[in-house]
Chains A and B, each alone.
Chain A
């Protein structure tokens, strides 16, 4: 690599990361300035929104910057673009929900850390390097602690923050540990290079156990992010104790971070080998177990819940299980799955659907307050709300039906794609385990339907409880309305989103001219030079 090339790569990488840089810069300015200037909360919020908008513009402007994938630490493929775009857009919704959450004095820090965690999420999606990816993950985690801590404090939130803090660090450590094995085995931190290596026919891991160690640890750490078993424990406690806008963020941002990281660092790296490879086979088993355990646990324990946030926490765990089904399919299907719904495509679509339905649900619950100014916490608070608060209840119904996976809501199409991906991932006898996974998933969906339905039943068929008032002003109304409307529109007019997901999935799996072939046996017994990676532009 010539210095010119290196310079060009760095330059392009910076272009690619410009939106993130912008967000972080604004965040730093906000946080630094806040002790010195007196600005109202809503203005900080507006500033954050403006930063998001600017980031969207920057993102679009840098759409066609395309650094060398084997050299740059950031990548600007369709996956990167669409995920970042959507994260930014969903940022508006979260801002809308949280615009009144922080106390006046802490608003700058609050919205600043929000911008940071947005930036972290985007960084994860656009990273092409283990190090950068980890930075992205941490850039989400640390502001999250702040968020948890900055909003209205009580003993409960403090406990929640502590739990989240320690367990998150534990998970980060796991991920990092796994990454060291990856690096140790392959000698590069560049993810595309890693993928190219694994796709080649040379033995890329001196010992398969190393590969398993790497995958299990990385996966374990990322499970925390998406709240999958066995690192799901924090979710119900933290969700329940945190304020609703924070919970909404917690249910969405870490999911997209975790999923994006899984796709970047695991499926895209390993999947090309497909089920025939012993490592991939084991990884599929791992994901299979995690998926089943997560879905089942989430849905079953969800049945018991009467606290709204705790219920949605288990719902969040259950949905992590569905995402894991998609990840399993992505591993098993490799590039072949493109013919139908690919695992990655399904996961991405599911995330979109999930964003709308879960943010909408949290937002609407947040908007409904009891007489004494307390947000609705128990499902029984919503009893009869269908008649006393028609529009919010209707929106909530849509979001819940979508969470339930009911056609024609977004959640249905998400589940359809996920399970289709699982079904179509493999042919032959090995398909059975994935199909079984799909069956288990469907049964889970049936079980889980109960607790969503219970809320709907209470709202429309329950005895009227004390009437609720809708609060939050136009930002909440707009945000939740967007969520509810999109929960339907995503299915009915899913063309753009489906296409984006498809392109992103294809891009994430792309291995630009990755063929590192051994010469046919017998032709060359001479020592093969250390494999030169042929680099090509996509």
Chain B
């Protein structure tokens, strides 16, 4: 065990090597690029298990020097404690399953080796992110996952929508990253020895010595960073668009792993965040609003993957709600709740995405739920694993989601009381948040099962070219290419097989494993205290207050009722094709339109931030040419104009004038020197 922990760098290294091999070598030596990555990630998972068992709050591994620019020193150092090993195991496990799934899903795609190379890089970055023991190193991998996500979203590079989504993802993430960067610079300036390792930054002595502004400023900046990576208000907009990437990517990056990086960062920095209850309240509030907004949008989406995407945004909101409720004595409970939800969510959301992918695969890349129906007989594995995932997402006993969501709600419910204990005046706001979270739980159950019923229930229907919802025939035009859905340029190679078949085993087995996870991990880790016990091996956690909380029946019962109500409503409306949804939609038409159009958030961004930016760019371009260029030209013209209009006039060719002018000048000089 000791060997594996001391060489924990092997965990990121295995997928990296696998990825590089897949990308640059595999094709030349006639090896399926899938194999090295699967092996690398699998090895990483096994190593993670070893690390999981040996988690120690103080254990750090310094691998080598990295940056030493003056006093900006960043060694390559890793931390093997409860939180990192937990994340590590989860990430590698899910990744392994997704890689296996992708082996089937991506078969036949021209970018097959590139896909696995990028996945390998992604797993490398993500494992590095959770292992690193230094804010700068974390940032480095944080950006790394962002880039992998960019590359994977833009995987089908010739597809304009994918390219646009990739750019959007990168930029929104960058917007968040600068918050992280600023936090790092600030920390670097104020912490002793400019040492940004976690044990130095999160040490009590350091935290006590932070200047007043840094005590709330740095947490705020860190949370800003988290909102982008973990898709919270106001920076969640990139995540739904990220569904343009291949479905395994959606499952891996945009559901299970990368998007949890923000949650991880906040959890990791809890001792720092806890310095400022105001920021914690802000975190909870943002989380809650995000959860609610995303759930509302998910209600009306017709694209199966988009429903899942918004659901992810919503569930991430739950996690932040939990982290934000860690005021005062609740700190440890809140982290456990948040991380537990992260943990379980990874399983069932990955499952749901894979199942969606399986549907999409089977439907020949059609993902609009209006174009197929009643697939439960054709695709039994997909249907029932999806159902398990949906139950978990809805939080039905005894699936994983039930346990974790309950913990979140419990923490939230206890927060007003804990706030009063530490004299935090605004703590009452946690009360409304609790009820909004409950409402969100209802919506979650409803939209999840709406998707389930629309896809798998009712009379069977397969997509055909004459559907009213089918996209218009591709326009063969070169100009403004990115404005059109140019399917001609779609490089996705599969879809040649007959549609409507159950996916092959290489795809269903991962789903089955995940379904087992979705069913069991909650039960295994939650009530048994295993999860909380493991997290206690985390840096700084022993100093966090761990108030025992009385178990109450209220929250589980209410939430279960709410969830069941949601499922029931979904059944009534969507189990059989009817005009009921249309009538309901007509009844609340403005609301329906708003939800369907995602509350126009993209348009609002476009009309404000982007318009402002466009104005600025245009302005600066004009300014550059007219004002600055004009100034330079103007200065350059001064001598010319002066010469032309003044000086040259005296060169008139008249000798009398020359003599007179010379004499006069001499006289003036003489006068000047004699009498002044």
Contact = CB atoms under 8 A, between A and B. Distances in A.
A231 B662 contact: yes
B651 A300 contact: no
A299 B655 contact: no
A439 interface: no
Interface string A487-515: 00000000000000000000000000000
A167 B662 contact: yes
A67 B651 CA distance: 47
Given A163-B655, A233-B658, A300 B674 contact: no
Contacts of A213: 670, 674
B662 A233 contact: yes
Contacts of B661: 230, 233
A212 interface: yes
B673 A300 contact: no
Interface in B650-672: 650-651, 653, 655, 657-659, 661-663, 665-666, 669-670, 672
Given A209-B674, A301-B647, A301-B648, A167 B658 contact: yes
A166 interface: yes
Contacts, number: 74
Nearest to A290: B669
B643 A304 contact: yes
A131 interface: no
A217 B674 CA distance: 13
A378 to B, nearest CB: 17
Interface string A321-340: 00000000000000000000
B653 A304 contact: no
Contacts of B639: 299-300, 303, 447
A212 B665 contact: no
Contacts of A234: 658
Given A300-B642, A304-B640, A229 B665 contact: yes
Contacts of A285: 672-673
B670 A230 contact: no
B496 interface: no
Interface in A221-243: 224, 229-231, 233-234, 236-237
A282 interface: yes
Given A166-B655, A237-B653, A300-B640, A216 B662 contact: no
B109 to A, nearest CB: 52
Contact of B673 (A236, A282, A299): A282
Contacts of A212: 670, 673-674
Contacts of A301: 643, 647-648, 651
B257 to A, nearest CB: 58
A300 B647 contact: yes
Contacts of B653: 237
Contact of A216 (B648, B658, B670): B670
Count chain A CB atoms within 10 A of each CB in B640, B642, B669 and give the residue with the most.
Answer: B669
Contacts of A286: 669, 673
B653 to A, nearest CB: 6
B649 to A, nearest CB: 10
B643 to A, nearest CB: 4
A170 interface: yes
A304 B670 contact: no
B644 interface: yes
Interface string A294-314: 000101111110000000000
A220 interface: yes
Given A167-B655, A236-B651, A303 B673 contact: no
A303 B640 contact: yes
A289 interface: yes
A214 to B, nearest CB: 11
B648 A162 contact: no
A216 B675 CA distance: 14
A183 to B, nearest CB: 19
B306 to A, nearest CB: 58
A230 B650 CA distance: 11
A349 B653 CA distance: 33
Count chain A CB atoms within 10 A of each CB in B650, B658, B674 and give the residue with the most.
Answer: B658
A59 interface: no
Contacts of B662: 167, 170, 220, 224, 230-231, 233
A324 to B, nearest CB: 13
A285 B673 CA distance: 8
B132 to A, nearest CB: 51
Contacts of A237: 651, 653
A174 B669 CA distance: 14
Count chain B CB atoms within 10 A of each CB in A167, A224, A297, A300 and give the residue with the most.
Answer: A300
A230 B670 CA distance: 12
Contacts of A167: 655, 658-659, 662
Nearest to B637: A303
Interface in A159-187: 162-163, 166-167, 170, 174
A304 B665 contact: no
B674 A162 contact: no
Interface string B188-215: 0000000000000000000000000000
Given A170-B662, A217-B666, A233-B661, 10 more contacts: A166-B659, A167-B658, A230-B662, A236-B651, A286-B673, A289-B669, A300-B639, A303-B639, A304-B640, A304-B644
Interface of A: 162-163, 166-167, 170, 174, 209, 212-213, 216-217, 220, 224, 229-231, 233-234, 236-237, 282, 285-286, 289-290, 297, 299-304, 447
Shortest 10 CB-CB contacts between residues of A and residues of B: A230-B665, A233-B658, A300-B643, A300-B639, A220-B666, A301-B643, A282-B673, A447-B639, A231-B662, A216-B670
28 contacts: A162-B655, A166-B655, A167-B655, A167-B662, A170-B663, A174-B666, A212-B670, A212-B673, A216-B670, A220-B662, A229-B665, A230-B661, A231-B662, A231-B665, A233-B661, A233-B662, A237-B651, A282-B673, A289-B672, A290-B669, A297-B647, A300-B643, A301-B643, A301-B651, A302-B643, A303-B643, A304-B644, A304-B648
